[in-house]
Structures are given as structure tokens and as C-alpha cells.
Structure 1
């Protein structure tokens, strides 16, 4: 119940005298119990503490373990020549003219030029601690393939995973697109775009792409053809390339 004060203000109900007496008795009981506890403890013998010394552990004997081989330690491979991890050009295919010189290294500026906004891509890649990239490609009939491996320093975050996810995001946004998981990659994905790019005077161009990552390396694959591309084409390329990382 609340009492109306002059001027329209209200105030809460006051505590009664009985409540204050009970509170005072409770405080006195706590104080008395505490004092009694100290007196009982004072009459007891002190409890001995456990020894601070610990038993000496026996040193393992035998030869030191052998270092991991390149097949077991992937850093041995990815810290070496990144170009050696790229898929080899298939027999009968010709080298890609669009790759320019044959050293297959792709510097940061050249990689940024592959984006619709090169200046923005350059800034983003610098912020993501771009380390290096290697590329290869070939043409077989009307089909063209480009593969890129991009490596990051990853001193503060898993940039490679984010970069692969970003590629997947944009691939998913294209109309008439089918996608599949790349076996053995966890979250790698491959895409086939069933709607071709068309331009007057030219044959329609169909596309497929794949994105995955392992450790600090991102894999990007792009395929173009004048005929519709299949799931098998892009999945096979992606699986074989990821097996080399």
C-alpha cells in the first residue's frame, strides 16, 4: 500500500518496528557464532601442510624422435617453392598465353589487378598480410584453366579461411549456379555456372570455379569453355590440386 503525499508524490511503505528487531537479533547471532568459531579453532593443533617438494620425474631414455618428413609436415612443402605445388599441365594442352612470362610467380600488384576494384583489393591484401602467390594455367581446345595458390603470413588471424570464404560468397551470388563440397577439404566448394557470359560476335562462355584452403594457403581455380561445364571437371581439378598441399 502506498500513501499519497502532498503535491502528488508517493513514497514506499515504511518498515515496521518488528522487522527492525528481527534484523538486529540476526546480526547479534552471526557475531556470536563467529566468535565461538574462533575460540574453538584456537584450541586445535595446527594442520600440517603438504610438502612443497615434488618427486623427480625420470628422464625418458632412447634415441630422439626423427623429424617429420615432407609428406607428414605440410609446412616443409608450403615454405618451399610454392610453384612446385601447382598441378602440372596435362599432356596435349598448351601453356596459357594470358599468364605472360613463365616464372609463374604472381606479385601483389598483379594479383590485385584480377579484381574489379584493384585499388581496394591491393589495400585489403596488404591488410591481410599477403605473402606470395603462384599461378599456372593451360588451354585445351576451347577450354581454359587457371589455378592460383595464395599464401598469407597469418600472424594474427586465419586469413586463408576468410579469403576462401569470400570467393565462395561471390560465386554463390551468380545466377544459375550449382555448387558442391570438395571432398577432403572440410569447407572447400566448387561451382558450375550454367548461364554463360554472352557478347555480340563471340561464342558464349561458360564458367566454373573452386575455392578451398589448407593452413596458410588458399586455392583458387577458374575454368572457361564454350560448352557447358560439368561437376566432374571442376571437382577433379580441385581434388587433385588440394592433394598437393
Structure 2
């Protein structure tokens, strides 16, 4: 059976712009008041130009090894950072992308409103996405995406992780837990106990995880016709975070 469409990406753009504009106006007002106050004060003597010389430390700092520097790993082949799929697992019928990669259009198509998602992802500096999906048996399936952002003008990875967590929390009958290894509130795991039911199809239970590490947003989706235990999604998410 086909999986239901993922929740659309709802952005906080207008509110964020209003807050930013208010902050700018407040800064300008404070600056004007500061000039008026300074105009009535006597000049403050400048400090002497000569200052003590700070000695330079000797020796060289050893560079981080490839194992210690996460940037080395995430700038390489992201597909190698995806968890290995279990033995005997098969490709899903909804396999997306090409050779384990999704470009901007492929990934935006994951959302209910692809055009809006495309615009948001592009504005947030989408760089690339590595993907893996598989199924075990007839009804159990997994999809994992590692979405990398350039993060020159915004923290895209954390923003899209927050977006994923927001929509996961909107579903009724949802339990959630922090994801170990991701820092405070950086990662969450969700189990949806209320299945999606459609006439002529088996019930569809789901679980998901959302987290970010550096410039990479991690999302995991698990579906089955039976309730999904917390241990199933948690183990998968912890192993995936460990590879990042």
C-alpha cells in the first residue's frame, strides 16, 4: 500500500521578519538616544597608544584527525554515513532519487506542497541529500534521509529538524522521547499509536525521528501494519546518529 503524504513544511517567515524588524527599530532608537546623551557629556580622555605586548605561544597545535573532524566525513560521500540495511531487506516500491542521492527537486517532492518546499529549501541553502530505504516482509518499511545544508545565511539543518519535530507532534496518539547523542532538544523520536486507516487497506502505523548534527538534518520514517515499538525506532535512530 502507498504511504500517506508527508506533512507540508510550514515556515515561520513572516513572524521572524516582524521580530527582526522590531529588533532593528529598537536598535536605531537606542542609538539615537545614545548620541543625544553623549552630546551633553565632556570628552573622555583616550587611553595611551602604547599597550603591553602579548607573547605568542610556541609550538604548533596538531590538526584534528579525520575521525575527530566531522567536517571531513560530511564533506565526503554522505551515503557512506547511512546505516546499513539489514540482511534480507528489499528495495521499497517508493524508492526515490538516483543511486542513493536526491537533488532539490526530488527532496521537495517529499512534501505535500512541493513548490513551497522547493522555495524554502533553496532559501535555506539546501546542498544535497543522501537517502536509503528498504522493506522487510510485506509491510515493514524504513526510509532514512541525510539532508545537508550550506548554512551560509541560515542554520538550515536545525530549522528543518525543528520543522519535522513540529509536524510529528501535531498527530494525535503520539509518544515522544529525546534522542540520545544529539544534545538537548536537538533530536527526538516519535511513535504514533493511532494508525491511518483506509477502506480496503491494512492499518498503517508509523514512527519517526528528527535530529541534526552540524550541517546535516537527519530524518527517519518507519511504517508497518502493526504497532511499532519504541525500541525499534530508537535503536535505528541511535545507530544512525552514531555514524554522524
Which category describes the TM-score, using the shorter chain as reference length?
0.7 to 0.9
Name the residue aligned to 1:9: none
User: Aligned partners of 2:81, 2:87: CA distance in 1, in Å?
Assistant: 18
User: Aligned partners of 1:51, 1:148: CA distance in 2, in Å?
Assistant: 58
Name the residue aligned to 2:195: 196
User: Aligned partners of 2:107, 2:163: CA distance in 1, in Å?
Assistant: 15
- Give the C-alpha shift of residue 75 in structure 1: 0.5
Distance change in 2, residues 1:57/1:168 (3 Å): closer
Distance change in 2, residues 1:171/1:57 (3 Å): closer
Relative contact order (C-alpha < 8 Å, sep 6+): which is higher?
2
User: Aligned partners of 2:157, 2:147: CA distance in 1, in Å?
Assistant: 8
Distance change in 2, residues 1:55/1:237 (3 Å): same
Distance change in 2, residues 1:195/1:51 (3 Å): closer
**Does 2:102 correspond to 1:103?**
no
Name the residue aligned to 1:185: 182
- Give the C-alpha shift of residue 131 in structure 1: 0.6
- Provide the secondary structure at the position in 1 that maps to 2:210: strand
User: Aligned partners of 2:176, 2:58: CA distance in 1, in Å?
Assistant: 53
Alignment size in residue pairs: 196
- Match 2:173 to one of 167, 173, 176: 176
Distance change in 2, residues 1:102/1:120 (3 Å): closer
Distance change in 2, residues 1:232/1:56 (3 Å): same
**Does 2:153 correspond to 1:156?**
yes
**Does 2:85 correspond to 1:86?**
no
**8 Å contact from structure 1 (residues 89, 95) kept in 2:** no
Larger radius of gyration: 1
What is the root-mean-square deviation in Å for CA atoms of aligned residues? 1.9
User: Aligned partners of 1:208, 1:202: CA distance in 2, in Å?
Assistant: 19
**8 Å contact from structure 1 (residues 161, 213) kept in 2:** yes
